[in-house]
Structure 1
Amino acid sequence: MSLSIEPVAPDFRDDLASDSKLLSRYVEACEKLTSHLPPRRERSVAQQEKAARAETAARGARHRFLDLHADHVHNELTDGRSRQVRLDELAFAGADRYPGLVPTRAEMAADQQLPQSEKSGGEVDQGIFFAHLLDRRDTGEHLLRSMLAPTARALDLLPEFRRTGHLDLGQVVIRRDGCVAEVTICNQHVLNAEDNGVVEALETAVDLALLDDAVSVGVLRGSVLSHPRYAGRRAFGAGINLTDLYTGKIGFVDFMLRRETGYIRKLVHGLNLGSGHRLLDLPGGKPWVGAVETFAIGGATQVALVLDRVIAASDAYFSLPALTEGIVPGAANMRLGRVVGRRMAQRLIFFGEQVAADSPQALALCDEVVAPEAVDAAVAAAADRLADPAVPSNRRMLHLAEESDDLFRTYMSRYALEQSARMHSPDVVAKLERTWVHRKRKA
């Protein structure tokens, strides 16, 4: 085939075996059209347009293939939904079984070595894959429930945590005091921002708190910062680590999807302990208290939305600068309007409005505002109140009424498409570039 002639789109016939071969050959042909082009940032306008046409054609074929076969693909990769398979394992198994459908492990490992502006865009193809799996009720529910299972790391560490009541997970520390497990984010050099490692450590810590029968209530807070401007002060979190996003270290699957379907959803619903009965799989979790000190920026405000009691220091503030970053702020678009109203949600997301904790508007984002020196006592009092045995049943019913599994699954299906595309859009890359240059000049 000539490299200048675009391949003919495959005519899928609803036969999985033959259609998967057609997809593989077509994607390979599309990739050959661009294999001779220079790296992304060095391409001419004409070369960029040629690459975009080839990528769009291949992605259109993936959509059509998954329209027909998403159920069968998922069933095959999970042995008829008998196995709980996590996101990364599912994506790489799909790559091995259906060449051309999603990037392979080796391809994604190579991408991780590149800055965001030079990546292949394979994460967009992962977004297509998960969007179709989540769009279908049976496959989507199985995928989401699989992500609520305890991680292998948490299960390995559970005996030690039960014995000592304390574990240092690197970027997160968990400590049990009585019936309360305090989970502290320790990423001080970037103002307790989240990255792939923080998301992994947070999920492990949340699992441990939920698995330990001695724990009735969890507390989430940020550690004391080392930054000169905030030295000696705690901060709840600065959102996504933009430096890591710029340098290509923030993963779509390992950060964006895992964060929402892993530790944040576990804060809401608890763990899927695999009882074998759908109604009994999710015991409803445990109540969580958040201590918002100094600031809750971006992802930190997203997390505050799902906590049962939020204590804010009077000198703290909340913000959700989604447009500054150019990406979708997780599930905040689904939850924020319900909490603060549509108009205020738009002011936060579209205009980057900051909400001071001691302002009337903050009453929709936190439950109690106290002097900075009184935060510890207020958190302890809230945890004591939430340790009441009647709380878990009531919080389970509250969550059922306001955020159904179908609502979350449908949102995440669209989120997979939107977020994977936003991460690789030219305007996001340009914004990251400007932020990077600004920080280098200040340094």
Structure 2
Amino acid sequence: MTGSDTTTDCVHVEIVGSVARLTLSRPPVNAFNAQLVGQLDDAVAEVETRADVRVAILTGAGRCFAAGADLHEIADLSVDAMSWWNRRLERAVDRVARLGIPVIAAVNGHALGGGFELALAADFRFFSAAATVGLPEVTLGIVPGAGGMSRLTRIVGAMRAKELIMSGRRVRPEEADALGLGWQAGSRGALAAAEGLAETLSAAPHPAIRAVKESVDRATDSSLQASLAADVAALTAVFATDEARRGIVAFRTP
């Protein structure tokens, strides 16, 4: 087994054997700011270049996977600046989805908003007992803009996706499992469960695994890029409304 580590302020990349583990680390809740988003994009780009890496695991440090956008950073952005910020996040999330290797999300705690959108970009998801997931953007007067609406719909169907997104409610592991969003990790914990699957997948013939991922993604995502562009446009339009400003300001005000 060989190993290597790359650590930035917000993302830690550890490669052991043929498995890369990317850990989001921006205490206390791994909220996305421009720095974390940029470093995540760079980390995934690094994994893309590694011919020796056959599986990637995404997880979060501490008690959260990722609690979504840092509202302190985005609350005062202009519409144009918000559009640019969101496109950077969408690009990083989509880069995860387009990796030519299996990606496993070990959801060790809250995965909300952009954090859940990132988890949805993975091929597989394991949820710890403490995990909660959801897209609460509507409660702030905005909408998910990094692919969450499109990817959630493809996983759970239109009716359930609308209910989850329109209500903004949080989902616990038992329901997430029943909805087909991923698996409960049980007593093993999400990371250990992800590592177990990674070991199995990394031992399989890589060309076959890659071909399966490409074929299944092509079958289900033929119009995904158009949907992603629509998600970005929707967030840009809604962010300009007074309701969005009031919702975000109210959330960040103690």
TM-score scaled by length of structure 2: 0.89
1:212 Cα deviation after fit: 1.2
Amino acid at match of 1:349: I
1:300 Cα deviation after fit: 1.6
Q: Indicate whether 1:255 and 2:70 are aligned.
A: no
Equivalent-residue separation in structure 2 for 1:410 and 1:219 (angstroms): 27
Amino acid at match of 1:340: V
Q: How many pairs were matched up?
A: 248
The answer to whether the 8 Å contact 1:171/1:197 transfers is: yes
The answer to whether the 8 Å contact 1:267/1:286 transfers is: no
Q: Please, which of 28, 42, 47 is the counterpart of residue 204 of structure 1?
A: 42
1:338 Cα deviation after fit: 2.1
Tell me the residue number matched to 1:286: 101
1:377 Cα deviation after fit: 2.4
What secondary structure does 1:184 align onto? strand
Q: Please, which of 215, 221, 232 is the counterpart of residue 403 of structure 1?
A: 221
Structure 2 counterparts to residues 268-347 of structure 1, below 5 A: 268-270=97-99, 285-330=100-145, 331-347=147-163
Equivalent-residue separation in structure 2 for 1:360 and 1:429 (angstroms): 31
Aligned-residue sequence identity (percent) comes to 25
1:355 Cα deviation after fit: 1.2
Equivalent-residue separation in structure 2 for 1:347 and 1:393 (angstroms): 34
The answer to whether the 8 Å contact 1:314/1:369 transfers is: yes
Tell me the residue number matched to 1:183: 22
Amino acid at match of 2:61: S
Tell me the residue number matched to 1:15: none
Amino acid at match of 2:15: R
Tell me the residue number matched to 2:54: 216
The answer to whether the 8 Å contact 1:165/1:177 transfers is: yes
Amino acid at match of 1:269: R
Structure 1, unmatched stretches of 5+, are: 1-162, 225-233, 271-284
Compared CA separation, residues 299 and 362, structure 1 to 2 (3 A) = farther
1:435 Cα deviation after fit: 1.4
Amino acid at match of 1:240: A
TM-score scaled by length of structure 1: 0.53
Structure 2 counterparts to residues 47-58 of structure 1, below 5 A: none
Compared CA separation, residues 348 and 293, structure 1 to 2 (3 A) = same
Equivalent-residue separation in structure 1 for 2:175 and 2:150 (angstroms): 24
What secondary structure does 2:174 align onto? coil
What secondary structure does 1:355 align onto? coil
Equivalent-residue separation in structure 2 for 1:223 and 1:242 (angstroms): 20
1:358 Cα deviation after fit: 2.3
Equivalent-residue separation in structure 1 for 2:240 and 2:138 (angstroms): 15
Compared CA separation, residues 418 and 255, structure 1 to 2 (3 A) = same
CA offsets 1:364-415 (integer angstroms, 9 cap, x no match): 11134322x53332121111122122211100000001112xx233224433
Give the structure with higher Rg (CA).
1
1:363 Cα deviation after fit: 4.3
1:361 Cα deviation after fit: 5.5
Compared CA separation, residues 197 and 378, structure 1 to 2 (3 A) = same
1:305 Cα deviation after fit: 1.7
Structure with more strand by fraction: 2
Task: Indicate the structure whose relative CO is greater, using CA pairs within 8 Å and at least 6 residues apart.
Answer: 2
Amino acid at match of 1:395: K
The answer to whether the 8 Å contact 2:133/2:171 transfers is: yes
The answer to whether the 8 Å contact 2:108/2:189 transfers is: no
* Greater displacement, 176-185 / 385-394: 385-394
Amino acid at match of 2:70: N
1:319 Cα deviation after fit: 1.3
1:247 Cα deviation after fit: 3.6
1:184 Cα deviation after fit: 0.6
What secondary structure does 1:422 align onto? helix
1:249 Cα deviation after fit: 9.1
Tell me the residue number matched to 2:4: 165
Tell me the residue number matched to 2:233: 417
1:416 Cα deviation after fit: 4.0
The answer to whether the 8 Å contact 1:199/1:259 transfers is: yes
Tell me the residue number matched to 2:95: 266
Amino acid at match of 1:220: L
Amino acid at match of 2:212: N
1:203 Cα deviation after fit: 0.5
Equivalent-residue separation in structure 2 for 1:295 and 1:165 (angstroms): 28
Q: Indicate whether 1:241 and 2:241 are aligned.
A: no
1:333 Cα deviation after fit: 1.7
Tell me the residue number matched to 2:165: 349
RMSD: 2.2
Equivalent-residue separation in structure 2 for 1:435 and 1:360 (angstroms): 26
Structure 2 counterparts to residues 378-389 of structure 1, below 5 A: 378-387=193-202, 388=204, 389=206
Compared CA separation, residues 187 and 291, structure 1 to 2 (3 A) = same
The answer to whether the 8 Å contact 2:173/2:183 transfers is: no
CA offsets 1:251-307 (integer angstroms, 9 cap, x no match): 4354311222x222222223xxxxxxxxxxxxxx11111111122111121122221
The answer to whether the 8 Å contact 1:193/1:238 transfers is: yes
Compared CA separation, residues 361 and 247, structure 1 to 2 (3 A) = same
Compared CA separation, residues 343 and 409, structure 1 to 2 (3 A) = closer
